[in-house]
Chains A and B, each alone.
Chain A
Amino acid sequence: AAQTPSPSGSAAGKLTFTIGDDNDLDSMNPFVAVEAPAFQIFFLTYDFLVNLSQEDLSPSPGLAESWDQSDDGLTWTFQIRDDATWHDGQPVTAHDVEYTYNRILEEEQGSFIDYISLIDTIEVPDDQTVVITTKEPTLQLLTALVFILPEHIWKDISTEEAGTFENNPPVGSGPFKVVEWEKGQFYRMESVPEYWGGAPRIDEFVYRIFNNEDALVQALRAGEVDFADSLNANPFNSLKETTGITTHEANIPSFDEIGFNVGANDTIPDADGHPALLDVRVRQAMAHAVDKQVILDRVLQGYGTIGTTIVPPFSAAYHYEPAEEDLFQFDLEEANRILDEAGYEDTDGDDVREMPDGGEPLRFRYFVRSENNSTVQTSQFVQDWFNQIGIATEVEALDDTTLTDAIFEGKYDMFHWGWFPDPDPDFILSIFTCGQRPPDGIWSDSFYCDEEYDRMYQEQKTVADVAERAQVIFEMQKKVYEDAPYIVLYYDANLQAYRSDRWTGFLNQPEPDGDLLSGYGNYTFVNLRPVTKGAAADEEEGGSAFTWVWVGLVAGPLLLVAVALLIRRRKGEEDRA
């Protein structure tokens, strides 16, 4: 059926941009929400003090027009812009910033406090100025992803209430505001013409939830939605050839890894990791035995890039790529050689190596996520390669909860999971510090602990110069790569597709291949506009072979029934007596 090449919801003269996704919104309360759709709202509703630039995520003016760092690096002065207003008309002032930061610091608000934990004091000399002193010199404040909230709304919400406060609709200072939220269905946002960054060109933005990716793809094809986010490879492929639709593999900060239990016994007495994994040579041998290219090609159908270190290339300034000769190339012979040399030999002829003392065989529990098919599929390749180097694996699919528990208790050997780090590498680096090991810490899932690494971690926090900091961070990545508590498999991509026959003005963040929607800002939404000239009308797509199979499948039996009816339709008279 032909569709007029107009945006999905241009009824009533409104310009509506609709995106479809398979994830539901959990809450509009920034202290509570974790799901991506919620952050989509926050990016459009709120501002940061300092934004991340569209081109390269570098600090760029947000609510702060400009900023200054004192020479000792400890004091920051931010100039708050005077043209920003809250959606309810109140002006945005320095007090709102102060309030937001203080509240997070006082209440130790989980997801945000890490960004600003080094803050010592906050002062507001006037409505337009915020002066922040930090305990140590840091660049953290420029990359703090903290949404600035209106004090006049939030001051009435007590700490207890904040946990369940609905915040619907949220009052912010961003280019869009929520006007309707049908839970589990969609939410609708209207543009705010008074936005300090300039009025968006669309009137309305709708986020629709599809639980079925096929439906989402069909909706995009049918023009019910204009943009499909976070697609799987197969549907994505199917959209590639469709006219009027453009596909995009967005570079995002994400990677998958195989993690090892490299020493849970140090902090948890009854942990039961395999002793062989304490030996770095075993882990290196295993790193040699994983053909990341095959996994990328077969499991991800090529979407993404081969993984190396723990800071993804997304954070271009901080990503370290090991030199060719330092890489653990896929080389099963090399892997076997390393293991032989280290004394892990198969003494009992069962094709599985034993510990040098001849005892325990190298048989590892290998946990994958039942929620994630890629991990399941990867495991089948990995298992096969490991078999070839005399390492047996028992693959088990666990749900995330159970897996989290196993890791927390140190009762695992290896697992496959992934991370979605911030653009700033601080957090992802922190998870390899000794302090993060359970049960005291939370985030370490390999129980990696290294004094030198910890020292460097502290150092990078306080280096005020980007280049200098990057050097430290390179070293850290190198160390983790070589010690191999993780085998980083790949950096995956966010697969997006949109109606390029209707819309234009999409902006990547960062350039050249970042996310088209809200990577870490609202750039696309403010810039988005309909294609002006009437583009080519959708061509009639004849029923594909596919349709006919389905039609046949349903019509066939019906036809048979009908025929049976005709044939068997004999005397239907009432006389049965």
Chain B
Amino acid sequence: MAGLIILGFFLIVALAAPLLADSRGLSPVGATGGVLDPPSLDYPMGTDDLGRSVLTLTIWGSRISLMVGFFATALSMVIGAVIGIAAGYYGGWRETAMMRFTDWFLVIPFLPLAIVLASILGRSLFNIILVIGITSWPGTARLVRAQTLSVKERPYVERARALGAGDWHLITRHILPNVFPLIFANTILVVAIAILSETTLSFLGLGDPLRISWGTILEFAFNGGAASRGAWWWLLPPGVAIVLVVLAFTMCGYALDEILNPRLRRR
């Protein structure tokens, strides 16, 4: 439940960013603070080396970070779910081919692939989403396929088939509703991973430097020598925000998993 509260908090912050902080504070032009001012009443989280309020950056950064997290996850889910359900449902050589393909993607180490893709595709928010999306679907696909296989074998599917139902009916009425909760729980875990991935890619300088996300703030701070300058207020807020959000997503994911997976329940 703590997870939900934290999530709610950050969602509200992201949505209400324009109310909480002036977006002009994102541009050094509109920045009013001094260079690396420590936290004060005016700047509760201090300023960065361009005089921007770190609080403003963190608040607006939540938008990009969460957005990347959600869109990348959505992309990964769609790919994973389509491949997983198609493979599981149709079976046969189609399944073999699709799952081989998935396995290939599964063993290719994520970050090197993301690095290669990002350096080939160029640095933009869209590419980051794309890269995370297309590198993180295989896990979902496997999971969805396994669940589809098990749902497909359930007698009610056979019953519907015996009633004369076609593939579309079976997939939409029986498979999907029963796979969906799992996809959903998985989605939540993937969001956490996607947000972490965004951070890592941005940290390596593969993010879009024109969009402020928690990852880019950290990159600026890291490369701007925040630590040696003693500017902890520059490193901490985005880092703690990441930890909290990822933690919250993970906790919600596990909680859902536990609800959906009765075996984990207390015996």
In-complex A–B contact (CB below 8 Å): yes
Name A residues whose Cβ lies closer than 8 Å to a Cβ of B: 212-214, 217-218, 231-239, 298-299, 301, 368, 370-371, 373, 376-377, 379-381, 384, 395-399, 402, 544-546, 549-550, 553
**Cβ of A34 to closest chain B Cβ, rounded Å:** 19
Q: Which chain B residue lies CB-closest to A550?
A: B232
Contact of B224 among A234, A376, A545, A549 (CB under 8 A): A234
- Cβ contacts under 8 Å, A231 to chain B: 225
Contact A384 B29 (CB under 8 A): yes
Taken together as a complex, chains A and B put the C-alpha atoms of A545 and B27 apart, in Å, by: 29
For residue B132, CB closer than 8 A to chain A, the reply is no
- Cβ contacts under 8 Å, A399 to chain B: 119, 122-123
Q: Which chain A residue lies CB-closest to B240?
A: A553
Contact A234 B229 (CB under 8 A): yes
Name B residues whose Cβ lies closer than 8 Å to a Cβ of A: 27-29, 35-36, 49-51, 119, 122-124, 205, 208-210, 220, 222-232, 236
Contact A232 B28 (CB under 8 A): no
Contact A384 B210 (CB under 8 A): no
- Cβ contacts under 8 Å, B208 to chain A: 370, 397
- Given A373-B209, A397-B123, A399-B123, the answer on whether A213 and B228 have CB atoms closer than 8 Å is yes
Contact of A402 among B49, B122, B210 (CB under 8 A): B122
Contact of B236 among A232, A233, A379, A549 (CB under 8 A): A549
**Which of B27, B209, B220 has the most chain A CB within a 10 Å cutoff?**
B209
**Which of B28, B124, B228, B229 has the most chain A CB within a 10 Å cutoff?**
B228
Contact of B229 among A212, A237, A376 (CB under 8 A): A237
Q: Which chain B residue lies CB-closest to A377?
A: B28
- Cβ contacts under 8 Å, A553 to chain B: 236
- Cβ contacts under 8 Å, B225 to chain A: 213-214, 217, 231-232, 234-236, 238
Main secondary structure of the interface of B (DSSP, over half): loop
A–B complex contacts, Cβ < 8 Å, 14 sampled? A213-B223, A214-B222, A234-B226, A235-B228, A235-B229, A239-B228, A298-B50, A301-B35, A368-B210, A371-B205, A373-B223, A377-B28, A397-B208, A544-B230
Contact B28 A234 (CB under 8 A): no
- Cβ contacts under 8 Å, A298 to chain B: 28, 50-51
Taken together as a complex, chains A and B put the C-alpha atoms of A376 and B35 apart, in Å, by: 17
- Given A370-B123, A549-B232, the answer on whether A380 and B226 have CB atoms closer than 8 Å is no
Contact of A380 among B27, B51, B220, B236 (CB under 8 A): B27
- Cβ contacts under 8 Å, B28 to chain A: 298-299, 377, 380-381
- Given A397-B209, A399-B119, A402-B122, the answer on whether A218 and B49 have CB atoms closer than 8 Å is no
Taken together as a complex, chains A and B put the C-alpha atoms of A237 and B225 apart, in Å, by: 10
Taken together as a complex, chains A and B put the C-alpha atoms of A213 and B220 apart, in Å, by: 12
Taken together as a complex, chains A and B put the C-alpha atoms of A214 and B226 apart, in Å, by: 8
Given A298-B50, A381-B28: 16 more A-B contacts, CB < 8 Å:
A213-B223, A214-B222, A217-B225, A232-B225, A233-B49, A234-B49, A234-B228, A235-B225, A238-B225, A370-B123, A370-B208, A370-B209, A376-B209, A397-B123, A399-B119, A546-B230
Q: Top 10 A-B pairs ranked by shortest CB distance?
A: A235-B225, A217-B228, A214-B227, A234-B225, A238-B229, A384-B29, A546-B230, A214-B228, A370-B123, A376-B209
Contact A238 B123 (CB under 8 A): no
**Cβ of B116 to closest chain A Cβ, rounded Å:** 13
- Cβ contacts under 8 Å, A384 to chain B: 27, 29
Taken together as a complex, chains A and B put the C-alpha atoms of A40 and B50 apart, in Å, by: 33
Taken together as a complex, chains A and B put the C-alpha atoms of A364 and B169 apart, in Å, by: 53
**Cβ of A543 to closest chain B Cβ, rounded Å:** 12
- Cβ contacts under 8 Å, A377 to chain B: 28, 50
Q: Which chain A residue lies CB-closest to B29?
A: A384
Taken together as a complex, chains A and B put the C-alpha atoms of A245 and B51 apart, in Å, by: 27
Q: Which chain A residue lies CB-closest to B233?
A: A549
Taken together as a complex, chains A and B put the C-alpha atoms of A301 and B51 apart, in Å, by: 11
Taken together as a complex, chains A and B put the C-alpha atoms of A111 and B81 apart, in Å, by: 54
**Cβ of B156 to closest chain A Cβ, rounded Å:** 38
Contact B51 A370 (CB under 8 A): no
Q: Which chain A residue lies CB-closest to B224?
A: A234
- Cβ contacts under 8 Å, A373 to chain B: 209, 220, 223-224
- Cβ contacts under 8 Å, B27 to chain A: 380, 384
